[in-house]
Structure 1
Amino acid sequence: MNWNSTRRSFDWYSFILGVLFIIAAGIAFVDPASSLMALVAIFGAVALLRGIYEVWFHDDVRRLLGRSPVWLLLMGILDIVIGAFLIFHLGIGMRLLPIFFAIWFIVDSLTGLITSGLLRSFDKRYFWVSIGLDVLGLIVGILLLLKPVVAALTLATLIGIYFFIEGVLHIMRAF
């Protein structure tokens, strides 16, 4: 079965989300020190949008596979909760962001690895890119969790890297 033959059309939502991720990455790389508060708000907004997308995508996967991937729905709800929290509590979000970010890296990467088997039958190239990025994300997430001080000092750059990776994956998914 070919992934492209089962898709309705170009996925504009995923494409726009990917572009927003890449814009957020650019902000993080250009001026990391002064943009940390803005990055917390952007991180919250992107988490919120991503959660909405995952809940929506859950329904498409359920229709395609004939069963409900509960983990995808739970991940979407978790992203929505984290996003809303960060948007409405920027100060607390800045202090907790290294921990949130590490946990999000780990959970998101594990989710990607768990679901990668589905990708293998649809598109081998996307499967291998996804596996590589998810393994890298898992390693970085664990390192961030073990060294939160380092995470706090390099947070803007790490957020930029994460946003860039997610942007590329979403743009790939759009096609």
Structure 2
Amino acid sequence: MAEAKKFDWISLLVGFVLIIGGIFSLSNPLATFLTLAIMLGIVVLVRGIMLIVAYFKLENRTGAKVFFALILGILLAITGVIFLFRPLFAANIFAFVIAIWFIVDAINNLINADRLKPAGKGIYFLSIVFNVLVLFGGIILVLHPLIAGLSVAVIIGITLLVFGVNHIVLAFMGKESA
């Protein structure tokens, strides 16, 4: 039986939506990152509410007092509300966490760089150079935290563009039907 290929309108539509999203992300990286911060706020708020509800369900069924879940739920809910109403604050916190991670990891790798000496002088030297760059990158992120957000927004924009083009190409290849 011969197979016919049909034009995939859904892939074309998805491709265009992804490309529009990519263009928006690249043209407005701060807005993209703030949108991600708001989405994170929603997720954290919902998770906090879920923990609070789970605490009361557990207490009603078993009488157990699982205060940790309640406290964590309350803290998450408060954090979610703060992130929703102060997305720039959420973006800064995210950037500071990344910066601290980079700094601590780079210092740890520099302290332990001598373990790479047996692999050769080139690997040892390259490790030191890369870890010094990561250390400087972490320090820069502490001083200018929105750089992390802008970088994430650019990566998201490029990814959306690539996926969009991919969907458009797939649309013209058609979907196979019997």
TM-score under structure 2 length normalisation:
0.39
- Bigger radius of gyration among the two: 2
Pick 1 or 2: higher relative contact order, CA cutoff 8 A, min separation 6: 2
TM-score under structure 1 length normalisation:
0.40
